[in-house]
């Protein structure tokens, strides 16, 4: 598609291989809308695409003796399964994130991430506690086995309902990654 169709409404879902013609059409429309010149951002420099994997966990692989259902501060429903981690488990998780091989960036990609949606290995590189003060923060949660707040927590959100109404898959909340699929077995095993 070289340009947006005139008919409205229109939904645009384009990815990293957007044609130069469509990219130029979109750039012209956005620059006109923003009141900027056509070349305000330079050719091909105004679209960003970042690909990351968000791991999905099979429900039958979750150890129900360890996880607990809860929302932070007991507000709302118990929408998440929480996987508590000790300090040693957390540090092992972080080490796995740091040493895992990553998918390389494509020629058209730059490592300009959105701060609110960083790959976990990028967070791990920023410091020892960044993950546990970010997507793995345990605030507002108490492990019912110990009565204490865990050192860190992985949260699982139900992804679907199986034929019997029970979950068959869970999404790992905030765990987008560029680790190669085989390398994900380290942190997420």
Q: pLDDT by residue (tens digit) across 48-72?
A: 656 567 888 999 999 999 999 998 8
Residue 156: which of 43, 24, 57, 48 has the closest Cα?
Answer: 57
Q: Could you tell me which residue, 12 or 153, shows the higher pLDDT?
A: 153
Give me the mean pLDDT over the 4-12 stretch. 81
For residue 107, the SS3 value is: coil
Cβ contacts of 75 within 8 Å, gap of 6 or more: 140
Give me the mean pLDDT over the 101-108 stretch. 78
Q: At residue 41, does pLDDT exceed 70?
A: no
pTM above 0.75, yes or no: no
Q: How are strands ordered across the β-sheet holding 80-85?
A: 56-58, 169-172, 152-158, 80-85, 68-69
**Which residue matches tokens 């020629």?**
107
Grade residue 43 by pLDDT with cuts at 50, 70 and 90. very low
């Amino acid at each position: 598609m070289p340009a947006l169709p005139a008919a409205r409404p229109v939904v645009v879902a384009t990815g990293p291989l957007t044609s130069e013609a469509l990219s130029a059409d979109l750039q012209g429309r956005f620059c006109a809308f923003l009141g900027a010149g056509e070349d305000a951002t330079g050719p091909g420099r105004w679209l960003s695409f970042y690909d990351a994997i968000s791991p999905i966990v099979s429900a039958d692989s979750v150890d129900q003796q360890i996880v607990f259902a809860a929302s932070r501060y007991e507000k709302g429903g118990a929408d998440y399964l929480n996987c508590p981690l000790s300090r040693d488990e957390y540090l092992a998780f972080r080490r796995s994130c740091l040493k895992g091989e990553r998918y390389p960036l494509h020629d058209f990609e730059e490592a300009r991430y959105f701060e609110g949606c960083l790959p976990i290995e990028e967070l791990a590189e920023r410091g020892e506690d960044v993950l546990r003060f970010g997507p793995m923060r345990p605030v507002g949660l108490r492990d019912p086995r110990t009565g204490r707040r865990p050192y860190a927590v992985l949260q699982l959100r139900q992804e679907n309902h199986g034929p019997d109404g029970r979950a068959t898959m869970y999404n790992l909340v905030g765990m987008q990654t560029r680790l190669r699929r085989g390398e994900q077995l380290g942190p997420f095993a």
